[in-house]
Structures are given as structure tokens and as C-alpha cells.
Amino acid sequence: MTENSKKSEILNVAVDDGYAQTKLVGEHPETGEIVQEIIRSSVRQGRSGLSSFSGGGIDQYETEEGDIFTVSNEIESENTQFDGFHTSQLNRVLVNHALVKCGYGGKSVNLVTGLPVADYFLDDERDIEHIDAKTSNLKLGVSGPDGRAMPKVEDVRVGCQAVAAWFDYVLDDNLDQRHDATGSIAIVDIGGRTTDVAVVVGGNAIDHSRSGTENIGVLDVYTEVRKAIHREFKIKEKFPLDKLDAAVRTGTIRLWNKEQDISELVETVVSEHEGKIAREVERRLGSAANLDAVVFVGGGSALFTTIAGYFPNGHMPEDPEFSNAKGLYKFIRVKG
């Protein structure tokens, strides 16, 4: 491949644009290696009121509509838990931010992304209006006020997030089949705001009677941990998303310049929410005895490490947080 043809190449990139995290999988524009990155969905409209000594860590973008947004782990994020998130300017900024951070600035990309089950389907049919709205939103422009090169989104394809994770379960990284695709497989995608259940039958159909979306996810854990910290330490301070995430994952938080052990507090909150999610899954699937597998994916699955044990045929991939993004990328490689 010549240098000129490489520059003009349109790259396939998959972005799982969640309420808590943005996950990206794609071919690196320079090295050709597979890029796999997680970026916190920490964004708010307007300027942050912060400035960086080094010029890094605080990124501001302007949308085609003329609004300014700040993306940074150092700010308190706007609440992304609203119904219109996937067709919002917040979402578009986060997707473009992820592309820039992963080296796609100035590059042409074919973008494949997803919607939760309840947004992708309307009754038993694809929700074309919602799918088209997300597609149109991601084709609108975002610019960097500092003049940085932004990605050029040539095309957008929108899939169902949980079904994308089915692709990742069935196919390995070489696109060879690693699990039987002809049976009935339930994908449970525990995300930031929602938990999606999608029962894939025979590799080509969705059982809508057992599929759907519940409004419970990782951000609910963060909210309850924050409240518990306030009660335990008698404080009212707000915490950025990355600090809450670190507190939940490590069981410690730095207050008054000292590491505070909050492991019991975190364990209690995580256990309560894991039980709630497991019961919601049971309401849809029953004992899951007539399914080949119940596959747990998403950021919540990485947090609720024992949830697959609720079902004898429960399964958790080695890297559940990336299952949606990897599945979307595998889908576009298979389908073209």
C-alpha cells in the first residue's frame, strides 16, 4: 500500500458508546494493530473552569450547533442517564473524543455503533426512526476549538448492543467459530444506565418475549456508593466519575489526604445491586434451563464478578467490558 492510498483509506471503527464508558475497537491508522481503549463518559456542556498546566487532560469541543462541551476526568460529569442520550450532542462529542484520543484525528472512518435493546427494537420490529436519528446525529460535525484535526465520519452503521456481544461470544478474534451459533443464547449486557437481555435463537432471530431492557446499571452503584461515603464521613463533596469508579474498584478513597478503607461499604452496595440485576434476569429467563448459555457482558459484568454463578449455564468472557465493541467490529468485518 502506498503512502497516498494509506492516507485515503477509510478505516472501520467500532464504538460502544455507553452511559458510563466509551469503548473503542478498531485498526490503528498508522500501525495496523487493533486498538482497544476505554474512556470515561465524563462530559458536560460549557467550559469547565479548569485549565491544565501541560495542556492535557481537559478537552473542549464545539458541535455543529455551536455549543461548547468539556470532556475530562477532572470534572463532575453531567448525568448521562436520560432517554435521549444516544441521539444527543453529549453522545456525539464523546464518540468524537474517543476517536481523537485513539489516533483517528484527520482520518476517514466508517463508524459502527449500537443501541440498547429497548431503543433498537420497537415491539417486534427494528425502531427505524430511532436508528436513523442516531445515525444522523453522529454524521453531524464536531470541531476542536484548538484547531486539532477531527475524524471524518464517512458512514455510520447502528446495531443492537447485546446482539453485537453475541457475535463476540460466537466468533473468536480470527472470526472462527468458537461456540455453537445455532442454539438459544441469552446475552445479558450490564451497562452504565441499563441492563439489556437479548435471547438470540438459531443465530438469526431475537426472542422478544424474553428480551428487553431494565433501568439498572453501574451508575446506580456509583450513586449509592457516593451517598454511603457522604453518610459515613459526614461530607457533601462531589466526586468526578473516575474517582468514584476507582473507589468502587479498589475499595479505597482519598479524603483529607489519607486513603480511607471503604471496602465493606462498597461490597454491600455491589452485592445489593448484583442481586437486583440477577432477579431481573431471572424474571425474563426463569431458570434458563432451556438455553445453551447465559452470557454476561458489559462494564457491570466486570464489576459483578460472581453474577454468572446465579445460573448453571452462566458464562462470562475474559474481557466482558469490550464484548459489545469487539462484537460490533467483528460484525462489520463479517458483513462488510
Q: Name the DSSP class of 289.
A: T
| pLDDT per position as a tens digit, 158-192 | 999 888 999 999 999 999 999 999 999 999 999 88
Cα angle 61, 66, 69 (rounded to 5 degrees) comes to 30
List the chain domain ranges.
3-178+318-335
Is the pLDDT score of 50 beyond 60?
no
What is the per-residue pLDDT for 294? 97
Which one, of 161, 158, 171, lies nearest residue 198 by Cα?
161
| CA-CA-CA-CA torsion sign (161, 100, 84, 43) | positive
- Please provide the average confidence, as pLDDT, over all residues in the chain: 90
Arithmetic mean of pLDDT, 300-317: 93
CB 74 within 8 A of CB 13: no
Judge residue 72's burial from the number of C-beta atoms within 10 Å of its C-beta, 0-12 exposed, 13-18 middle, 19 or more buried: buried
What is the per-residue pLDDT for 1? 42
What one-letter code names the amino acid at 272?
E
Name the pLDDT band for 49 (thresholds 50, 70, 90).
low
Per cent of the chain over pLDDT 70 is: 94
- Which string of DSSP letters, residue by residue, matches 87-152? GSHHHHHHHHHHHHHTT-TT-EEEEEEEE-HHHHEETTEE-HHHHHHHHHHHHS-EE-TT-----E
Which one, of 86, 96, 99, 106, lies nearest residue 26 by Cα?
99
Is the pLDDT score of 52 beyond 50?
no
- Higher pLDDT pick, 275 / 240: 275
Is the pLDDT score of 298 beyond 50?
yes
Angle at which helices 263-285 and 218-233 cross, to 10°: 150
What is the per-residue pLDDT for 288? 97
CATH architecture of 3-178+318-335: 2-Layer Sandwich (3.30)
Q: Are strands 125-126 and 142-143 parallel, antiparallel or unpaired?
A: unpaired
Name the pLDDT band for 145 (thresholds 50, 70, 90).
low
Site of grid cell 434458563: 288
* Phi, then psi, of 126 in degrees rounded to 5: -65, 140
Judge residue 125's burial from the number of C-beta atoms within 10 Å of its C-beta, 0-12 exposed, 13-18 middle, 19 or more buried: exposed
Q: Are strands 258-261 and 252-255 parallel, antiparallel or unpaired?
A: antiparallel
Arithmetic mean of pLDDT, 121-133: 92
- Cβ atoms < 10 Å from Cβ of 180: 11
